[in-house]
Structure 1
Amino acid sequence: MTLHPEIAKFIAALPAPPDGPLDPVAMRAGEEAHVPPLDERLPLHAVEDMTAPTASGEVPVRIYTPAEAESHGLLVYFHGGAFFLGSLETHDHVARSLAKETGLKVISVGYRRAPEAAYPAGLDDCYAVVRWAADEGNGLSWDGTTLAIAGDSSGGTFVAAVAAKAHDDGFGRITHQVLYYPSLDLDFDTGRYASLRENAVGYGMETAGLKPFNAFYTDSGADPADPLVSPLKRADLTGLPPALVVTAEHDPLRDEGELYGRRLREAGVEATVRRYEGAGHGFVQHFSWIPEYHQVFTETRDFLSRG
C-alpha cells in the first residue's frame, strides 16, 4: 500500500533539514512550539504533574486519570524522541488517548535525556518509575491488576529493556508490554533488515538519519552491542510479559519490531504483531487523528484487557 495521502502531504511540505550538526536545544524548542494549549486537549477526569521519589532520583511524571473510580489499572508510558527529543508535553496527547481508550491510569515518565544525561540515566528513570508505581499502588489507587508498560520509538526501546531488567531482577508484576514502532537494534547496519533499505528515503524518517539522531545516546555510553540498548541482542526472551508490537509499513525500523515479536513467540511468550499499512514511523504521535490510525488505541485497549 502506498503512503497514506495525508501523511504524504505532510512530508511533502516539510522544510529541508538545516545544514550542520543537530542542535538538541533548538530541536526541542521547535517541538514544544507545536504543543496545543490546554483548552484544546482531550479532557479527562484528572491530569496531575508530580515528582516520583524513586531509586533513580526525583523523576517528573504526569498522571492521567480517565474517569472517576475507586481504583484503576496502571499503564506506565515512555515517550519517544531518539533518546534526546520528546517530553511530557510533546506526547501529552498520546498519553491522554491511551488513558481514555484503555480506561487505565496512565503515568507518563519525564525521564532524563541525552546528551545532558549519560546512559543509562533515562532507562534507569523509566524502570524506577515502574517499581515506584508498584510500590506506591495504594497512593495511586491501583487496583492491583494491570501494570502495563508502553512506549513509542525510543520509548519502545525502553519498554523492551525495562521488561528485561524486571525479569532479571525477579520483579514479576509487569503484566503487558506495548511497543509502537520500536527501535530495537541500534546497530543500523542496512544489511540487517530489508525495511532499512525499502523505506530508506521519502517516508519522513530516513535510514541515513538514524545514526546521527541516535548519536547523542550512543555517544553518552549506550553501546549498541548491549542488550539493554539493543534489546534484540538479548539471547533469551523467555519469561517476558505478553507483548503488543505495532509497526508501520513504511518505517525503516519495521522489520526489527516484527522480529522481536517473532522471537518472543519462539520463546513461548504471547506476542501480537500488528503492521499498520500506509503508515510511516511516528504515526501514533503525529497521525493518530486519522481514523484508521486512531484505532491503535482501541487495539491497545483490547490487548490489555486480555488478562
Structure 2
Amino acid sequence: MVTAHSAEDIGLAPEWMKWEAEAGVRPLLSGDVLSMREQMNGLGQLLNSQWAAFHSIDGVLTTDLVTPQGLNVRVYQPDDSKHSSVPLGVFFHCGGYCVGGIEAEDNLVRNLCKLSQTVICSTQYRHAPEYPAPTALDDCVSITKWAVGEAESWGADPSKLYTIGASAGAALAISVPLRLYDEGNGDLVKSIISLSPCEVHVDEVDKYKPLHTSFENSAGRLPVIDIDSMRTFYSTYNAPLDDKYTFALKYPDLSILPPTYIVSAEFDPLFGDAVVFEKKVKSAGGKIVRKNYEAMPHVFWLFPLPQSLQFFQDTADVIKKLF
C-alpha cells in the first residue's frame, strides 16, 4: 500500500476527502523507485477493486499483443461502434518514467475507448533505472509507428491518429510528435491529448515563476506526488536538462505541434507545468486548449470519484470533436 501521510485540509474536494477517510490514507508515492513500484501496485489493486463496485463498464474488447521489438501493448476496441474505421489513439501511462503500466490505467483507457468510440493502443514502455532516458521515448515512438501499420486490422483509421497520456505519459504524448516531426513524419499525429504533463524539472522551476508556484510547500502535503517524488523520478530517468523532448519547453518551435488539449488539476504539483506549457505554445502561435479541474489532485481520474466520471466524458467529448 502507499505511504500514509496526515490528511491536512488544503481545500481538496469533499469527494476526495471522503475517499481518503474511507481508505484511511492520503496516497503519496515516496522513497526510492523500487518502493514506489510496490506502492503503485498496492494502490492499483485497491483502486481496481473499488472501480468494479463504483462504475463497471462493458462494450470494450481488449487484446494483449507484443510488438516486433518485444514491447507489450493492450489494444482497446469499442465493440458497439457502427463505424468501419474509427480514430486511433496511442496511450502512454503515468509513473515518472519509472513505475506504472497498462494495468494501472486500464480503467481510464477502457472508459475513454467506450465514450469516444476510438481504438486505443495502450503502451508498456520500459522503465528507469533499468532503462534510463531516452528509452521511454524511443519505445513510445517505436510503438506509435507500429500501431499505425496495424491500425486497419483493429478497425482504426491510421490517418486519424492522436497521442494521449497522463503525467510522464502526457509529456510523452507531446514529445512523440516532436520526435516524429524531426524524423520527417510530422504529419503522422493529428492531435494531442496531454493529461497533467510533467515539463518543468524541479531544479529549473525558478525560471518559470511567477507562473509556476505549485511545487512550493508541496512536500508531504499534496496527494499522489509531490516535489520529492518528482525529484526522484527525474534523477532516476536521468534526462539532460536541455533535452528538448523530455522537457518540450526547450523545443525551438512549439508551433509545429498539432492541435493540443491539455488538462491540469488545482492541487497537483504539475499544475504549474501545464500553465507554463500552455503559455509557451500560445506564444509560439500553436493551437492549445487547457481545462483545469478545481480542488482535485494529480491523476485524480484513477480514483473512483464523480469527478473522474465527468473527466472521462469531458476528455472523450474532446476526442470526438477532433475528428
Q: Shorter chain as normaliser: what TM range?
A: 0.7 to 0.9
Query: 1: distance between equivalents of 2:267 and 2:197?
Result: 14
Distance 1:187 1:140, change over 3 A: same
Distance 1:255 1:50, change over 3 A: same
Query: 1: distance between equivalents of 2:242 and 2:162?
Result: 27
Alignment-derived partner of residue 6 in structure 2: none
Query: 1: distance between equivalents of 2:251 and 2:137?
Result: 16
Deviations 1:103-146 (A, max 9, x none): 10111001111112222222111111111122223222223442
1:132 is the counterpart of 2:166 = no
Query: 2: distance between equivalents of 1:99 and 1:16?
Result: 27
Deviates more, 1:7-16 or 1:174-183: 7-16
Distance 1:213 1:6, change over 3 A: farther
**SS of residue in 2 equivalent to 1:108:** strand
1:7 is the counterpart of 2:16 = yes
Alignment-derived partner of residue 34 in structure 2: 23
Between the two proteins, the alignment pairs up a number of residues equal to: 299
Cα displacement (A) at 1:264: 1.6
Cα displacement (A) at 1:247: 0.2
Alignment-derived partner of residue 173 in structure 2: 159
Amino acid at match of 1:30: G
Among 211, 219, 224, the alignment partner of 2:231 is 211
Among 39, 51, 54, the alignment partner of 2:66 is 51
**SS of residue in 2 equivalent to 1:278:** strand
The 8 Å contact of residues 60 and 113 in structure 2, kept in 1 or not, is answered as no
1:196 is the counterpart of 2:215 = yes
Among 251, 260, 263, the alignment partner of 1:246 is 263
Deviates more, 1:42-51 or 1:79-88: 42-51
Cα displacement (A) at 1:8: 2.9
Identity %: 26
**SS of residue in 1 equivalent to 2:221:** coil
1:52-201 alignment runs, 5 A limit: 52-53=67-68, 57-68=69-80, 69=82, 70-171=84-185, 172-191=187-206, 192=208, 193-197=212-216, 199-201=218-220
Query: 2: distance between equivalents of 1:136 and 1:18?
Result: 36
Pairwise CA RMSD = 2.6
Query: 1: distance between equivalents of 2:85 and 2:30?
Result: 51
TM-score, normalised with respect to structure 1: 0.87
Distance 1:36 1:20, change over 3 A: closer
Distance 1:27 1:199, change over 3 A: closer
1:306 is the counterpart of 2:322 = yes
Query: 2: distance between equivalents of 1:15 and 1:177?
Result: 31
- The gaps in structure 1 that reach 5 residues or longer are none
Amino acid at match of 2:100: G
